[in-house]
Amino acid sequence: MKETLQFLVELQELEDSLRSLTQMRKRRESLEIENAETLEFFETMLTEREAALSEVSTFCKEKNSEIEEAEGNARRARSRLSQIKSQRELTALNKELDTARRTNLARSEELAKLTEQLEASQTDYEKKKAEHAALVEAMADTQKALTESIDAAEVAANDQRTRQVEIKKQVDRTLVSRFERILRGRDGSAVVLMNNETCSACRMNVSPQVYIRLQRMETIENCDHCKRLLVFRAVLEESTSA
Ligand SMILES: [Zn+2]
């Protein structure tokens, strides 16, 4: 009987191990999708910022050439000063120069603001770019670690499946069917290791009769509530070391 109970516990451990492999595979799959979505979102944002940056940069250049052009005009106007023949022409020219000065002052202020904005945006963009690189690296690390765990579990899985077959040959056929039925019905958990009268799977107390029989370890017991197969840990460990 003790051997059968040990087999049951081992069968459950094998199931847990194989199930964890399946879960890791699923996690990797969903992680890949999630990561791709996150990166796509991030990269779209970066592209938008790049476009905004280049727009501001173009605007700055335009402003700059406007200023240069106006300065050229002012220089030419000033060179005409020597050819002025009348007070009227002088007044007109001064007015022209004055307007040019004011326009350029306004443009220079605009340019200063734009340049400031451009620098701030550039700094922010560089920061986001670094965040993106760090994210890509972190994602790769996580995926690498997960893949390593999966690879190791896959190697172990072959032996585990062989062991399952071996054990099932040695355990009573009816008990194997019972184990498999509970396994399907209880989400992959058919055997419960008990430390006291509480079923550690469903958290309910088993009846006193079951509890007594459990400790005697002469029969295969079910939890009264979740119907999982019960094994009393202390007695089992005692028998293992003996
Ligand atoms: Zn239970």
* 12 lies in some domain: no
For residues 85 and 163, membership in a common domain is answered with yes
Nearest to 190 by CA among 2, 24, 3, 14: 14
CA of 87 to the centre of ligand 1 (A): 109
Calculate mean pLDDT across residues 110-119: 93
Q: Which of 115, 135, 170 lies at the terminal end of a domain, its last residue? A: 170
Could you report the per-residue pLDDT of 47-65, keeping only the tens digit for each? 999 999 999 999 999 999 9
pLDDT band at 98 (very low <50, low <70, confident <90, very high): very high
Distance CA 46, CA 110 (A): 26
Q: Which residue type does 169 have?
A: K
Cβ within 8 Å of residue 43, ≥6 positions away: 132
CB-CB contact of 53 with 121 (8 Å) = yes
> Are 37 and 85 members of one domain?
yes
* 83 & 96 share domain: yes
Residue 5 lies in a domain: no
Do 101 and 58 lie in a common domain? yes
Mean pLDDT for 99-126 is 92
Together in a domain, 64 and 161: yes
Higher pLDDT, 96 or 239: 96
The answer on 95 and 59 residing in a single domain is: yes
pLDDT tens by residue, 195-239:
999 999 999 999 999 999 999 888 999 999 999 999 999 888 875
pTM over the 0.95 mark: no
Would you state the pLDDT for residue 223? 95
Angle between helices 233-241 and 2-79 (to 10 degrees): 110
Return the CATH number at 74. 1.10.287.1490
184 and 166 share one domain = no
- Position 242 confidence tier, pLDDT thresholds 50, 70, 90: very low
Residues around ion ligand 1, judged by CB within 5 A, are 199, 201-202, 223, 225-226
At 235 the pLDDT is 80
Give the Å distance between the CA of 173 and the centre of ligand 1. Answer: 23
Give the separation between CA 70 and CA 65, rounded to whole angstroms: 8
pLDDT of the residue at 109 = 94
CB 199 within 8 A of CB 228: yes
Please check whether residues 60 and 157 belong to one and the same domain: yes
Q: pLDDT, tens digit, for every residue of 4-48? A: 999 999 999 999 999 999 999 999 999 999 999 999 999 999 999
pLDDT for position 229:
97
CA of 234 to the centre of ligand 1 (A): 18
113 belongs to a structural domain: yes
3 is a domain residue: no
> Does residue 204 sit in the same domain as residue 119?
no
Q: 80 and 97: one domain?
A: yes
* Domain assignment present for 10: no
Distance between Cα 198 and ligand 1 center (Å): 8
**% pLDDT > 90, the chain:** 83
Query: Is the same domain home to 144 and 216?
Result: no
∠ CA 237-173-165, rounded to 5°: 70
Q: Last residue of some domain: 138, 170, 202?
A: 170
- Ligand 1 centroid vs 209 CA: distance in angstroms? 15
Helix (H) or strand (E) holding 194: strand 191-194
Q: How many domains does the chain divide into? A: 2
The 10s digit of each residue's pLDDT in 165-191 is 999 999 999 999 999 999 999 999 999
Q: Is residue 225 part of a domain?
A: yes
Does any domain span residue 127? yes
Helix or strand (DSSP H, E) at 222: strand 221-222
Q: Which stretch of DSSP H or E encloses residue 212?
A: helix 208-216
CA 60 to ligand 1 centroid distance, Å: 73
Q: Are 121 and 59 in contact (CB under 8 A)?
A: no
- End-to-end, the C-alpha distance of the chain in Å comes to 15
Handedness of CA 136, 138, 142, 148 (dihedral sign): positive
Task: Give domain status of residue 35, yes or no.
Answer: yes
Examine the fold and report which residue of 170, 205, 232 is the final residue of a domain before the chain moves on: 170
Structure tokens belonging to residue 180? 């498999």
pLDDT higher than threshold 90 for residue 150: yes
Per the structure, the complete domain to which residue 208 belongs is given by 173-241
DSSP state of 83: G
Of all residues in the chain, the percent with pLDDT exceeding 70 is 98
pLDDT score of 2: 87
C-alpha Rg value of the chain to the nearest Å:
40
Q: Please, are residues 242 and 217 in contact by the beta-carbon 8 Å criterion?
A: no
Q: Which residue has 């390593």 as its token pair?
A: 148
Distance CA(234)–CA(16), nearest Å, equals 21
Examine the domain organization and report whether 202 and 108 are in the same domain. no
